[in-house]
Amino acid sequence: MSLLEINGLKLGIGAAKILHEVSLSVDAGQITAVIGESGSGKSMTAYCVNQLLPRGSRTKGDVQFNGHNMLVLDEPTLCQMRGRDIGMVFQEPMTALNPVQTIGAQVAETVLIHGAASKPEALKIARETLNRVGLPEAQFPLSRYPHELSGGQRQRVVIAMAIALRPKLLIADEPTTALDVTTQAQIMDLLKRLVQEDGMGLLLISHDLGVVADVADHIVIMRKGEVVEQGATAHIFKHMQHPYTKALFEASSHKPDREAQPLDTPILKVKKLIRDYTLPRKSLFGPVPKFRAVNGVSFTLNKGESLGLVGESGCGKSTLTRAILGLEGIQGGSISINGVEVKAGHTVPRTLRRNMQVVFQDPYGSFNPRHKVARLVSEPFHLLENPPKGTTRKTAISEALTAVGMHADDADKYIHEFSGGQRQRIAIARALIIKPELIILDEAVSALDVSIRAQILDLLAELSDKLGLSYLFISHDLSVVRAITDRVMVMKSGEIVEEGATEAIFQTPQHTYTRALLAAAPSLEDLMQ
């Protein structure tokens, strides 16, 4: 008998059927990973275990945990079990902690709710648990507040809360999705260590095969509320049966075909670029303190080339993008676009901006929900002196939409009528409409499911072949950068630490930081061999 055994679990919320006959199990001291794309019901399966389901949920079937059927327990009993027998770690460490309470109070709370110890003892347990998850007392006293910690540190606090009472089962819902690769590797190591030390069962929910493949003993693949395939990790990797599993594996390491050869004419030249941010004054009359977000960055991007820029959050890659796009002025160095130079103290002017367009990460947040697609897509026209009107305008909109694989009729719809992948296509259509030579893709595929991501990468490759576009591809995801770029730059603390042909950098990285990044990044290809 396993620690957790789910049999024939069905879940409906309102009229929607979310789960159909889900069965899986987690053994003590083992890690079961549930993999699926958004809408596969993987998170809802987890919430069925500790019964933290949204209102109006109906469940059927059998969720046996430690001798109880969780589906029939009453709320008071469930409250006693949550936190004590079942711990939970969430996706968003930035918001999962109460901002107005100290980390000590929040970890001790787990102990106090269950009356497991007196207050001083609970604080002692909190201290020990925080030490265990790698937050030593010297830097992380109990009196720290969440806003004083980084994302990875906050996730450690969340884990400490979940394991303070040494539960039998830990549920981790996308615990590293919001974190940088090196932090991600550390958190996964921590979870693995805790599972071994405490003999816990871990139900690990993720969309990323690469992340879990290293650590999971057992893999469950879900799609549309159903389990399509499951088995021991090594077995799944060698003998996967279901076409969806195969498609998922293929999409995760998808490499689009690219034919276009970059030319030798530079379109974008950045020389010793410096971007300073002013910080709040420390004293009334002292100098205004500054933070140098980009420090002497130089590079050239040629016509038809796809250049990658990788780095962890806070390395300055977004600041660099904003300067190139002319959203902010520069404090040192210069930016040349098609040979026209913009010097320090200036902002990239409008006339140059029409050569560049940008696609952002969030396909949900980067559109005004009250405008129709036609208006959204034609927005960049304001950069032109004589924007097209009437039928020319309509034709331009239709052309841009068909170029990205959408229908010309979609122009009359609103953005909420489209899925995430379709929205990102529309975002690319918006970038294409004024026929720019350079498109900056700022984490443009990071929020997409792997199968959609593969389609968008194909689309980008096709467009660059057809239109001779140049890309500046910014991402924290190394496998994507490897798939779509000719050259890559690695950025750390505002500086480019390494630059070179993509394959060369991935095969033989020179800088220690690049090596650390590559070592931390999960790579499916290595695992498949």
Smallest gap from residue 100 Cβ to another protein (A): 5
- Of 28 and 94, nearer to another protein (C-beta) is 94
Applying CB under 8 A, which of residues 5, 27, 62, 109 lies at the interface with another protein? 109
Q: Which of 159, 120, 166, 123 is nearest to 143 (CA)?
A: 123
Which of 42, 82, 254, 492 lies at the binding interface for another protein (CB under 8 A)? 82
80 near another protein, judged by CB under 8 A: yes
Concatenate the DSSP letters of all residues of 459-500 into one string: HHHHHHHHH--EEEEEES-HHHHHHH-SEEEEEETTEEEEEE
Contact 512, 518 (CB under 8 A): no
Residue number with CB closer to another protein (164 or 441): 164
- Kindly state whether residue 45 participates in binding another protein, applying the rule CB under 8 A: no
Q: Which is nearer to another protein, 65 or 506 (CB)?
A: 65
CB of 233 to another protein, least distance (A): 27
Nearer to another protein, 161 or 428 (CB): 161
Q: Is 95 in the site for another protein (CB under 8 A)?
A: yes
Q: Which of 42, 84, 168, 492 binds another protein (CB under 8 A)?
A: 84
At position 229, the amino acid (one-letter code) is E
Among 25, 110, 206, 357, binds another protein (CB under 8 A): 110
* Residue 96 binds another protein, judged by CB under 8 A: yes
Site for another protein in 272-331 (CB under 8 A): 280
The CA-based diameter of the chain, rounded to the nearest angstrom, is 75
Among 1, 15, 16, 75, binds another protein (CB under 8 A): 75
Nearer to another protein, 52 or 383 (CB): 52
Q: Which of 87, 151, 304, 522 binds another protein (CB under 8 A)?
A: 87
Nearest residue (CB) to another protein, 118 versus 392: 118
Q: Within a 13 Å sphere around the CA of 69, how many CA atoms are in the beta-carbon half? A: 9
Rule CB under 8 A: say whether 176 interacts with another protein: no
Which is nearer to another protein, 19 or 107 (by Cβ)? 107
Looking at 95-103, 196-204, 320-328, 367-375, which segment touches another protein (CB under 8 A)? 95-103
Spatial CB neighbours of 166, under 8 Å, sequence gap ≥ 6: 198, 200
Q: Looking at 13-21, 74-82, 395-403, 481-489, which segment touches another protein (CB under 8 A)?
A: 74-82
Binder of another protein out of 3, 31, 90, 457 (CB under 8 A):
90
- Within residues 261-280, the interface with another protein by CB under 8 A covers 280
74 binds another protein, rule: CB under 8 A: no
Contact 508, 494 (CB under 8 A): no
Q: Which stretch binds another protein (CB under 8 A): 33-41, 80-88, 287-295, 377-385?
A: 80-88
d(CA 438, CA 522): 30
Phi, psi of 232 (to 5 degrees): -60, 145
Sign of the Cα pseudo-torsion (286, 287, 288, 293, in order): negative
| Minimal distance, residue 95 CB to another protein, in Å | 4
The count of C-alpha atoms lying within 13 angstroms of the C-alpha of 137, restricted to the half-sphere facing its C-beta, is: 7
Contacts of 508 (CB under 8 A, 6+ apart): none
The correct pick among 1, 15, 100, 138 for binding another protein (CB under 8 A) is 100
Q: What are the angstrom distances between the C-alpha of 412 and each of 320, 374, 390, 407?
A: 35, 6, 15, 10
Q: How many CB atoms lie within 10 A of CB 115?
A: 10
Residues 6+ apart with CB under 8 A from 31: 191, 192, 195, 201, 202, 204, 212, 215, 216, 217, 218
Question: To the nearest whole angstrom, how small is the minimum distance from the Cβ of residue 514 to another protein?
Answer: 34
Residue window 216-245: x/- pattern of binding to another protein, with contact defined by CB under 8 A? ------------------------------
Q: Does 117 bind another protein (CB under 8 A)?
A: no
Binding mask 120-159 for another protein (x = CB under 8 A): -------------------------x-x----------x-
H or E stretch including 323?
helix 317-324
The DSSP letter of residue 372 is B
Tell me the C-alpha distance between 169 and 470, whole Å: 49
Closest approach of another protein to the CB of residue 208, in Å: 20
Can residue 77 be called a binding residue for another protein (CB under 8 A)? Answer: no
Decide: helix, strand or coil at residue 521: coil
| # chain residues binding another protein, by CB under 8 A | 31
Tally of CB atoms within 10 A around 481? 24
Does residue 99 touch another protein according to CB under 8 A?
yes
309: alpha, beta or left? (left if phi > 0; alpha if psi -120 to 50): beta
Q: Is 83 in the site for another protein (CB under 8 A)?
A: yes
Are residues 262 and 302 in contact, defined by beta-carbon separation less than 8 angstroms? yes
**Backbone phi and psi for residue 80, each to the nearest 5 degrees, phi listed first:** -70, -35
Residue 60 beta carbon to another protein: minimum distance, rounded to whole angstroms: 23
> Which of 5, 27, 92, 276 lies at the binding interface for another protein (CB under 8 A)?
92
25-33, 97-105, 265-273, 510-518 -> range binding another protein (CB under 8 A): 97-105
Count of Cβ atoms closer than 10 Å to residue 63 Cβ: 23
Question: Closest distance between another protein and the C-beta of residue 234, in Å?
Answer: 32
Query: For another protein, which is the closer residue by CB, 84 or 132?
Result: 84
DSSP, collapsed to helix, strand or coil, labels residue 193 as: helix
Going through 174-285 in order, the beta strands assigned E by DSSP cover 201-206, 218-223, 226-232, 266-278
Under the rule (CB under 8 A), what is the footprint of another protein? 50, 52, 75-76, 79-84, 87-88, 90, 92, 95-101, 109-110, 113-114, 145, 147, 158, 161-162, 280
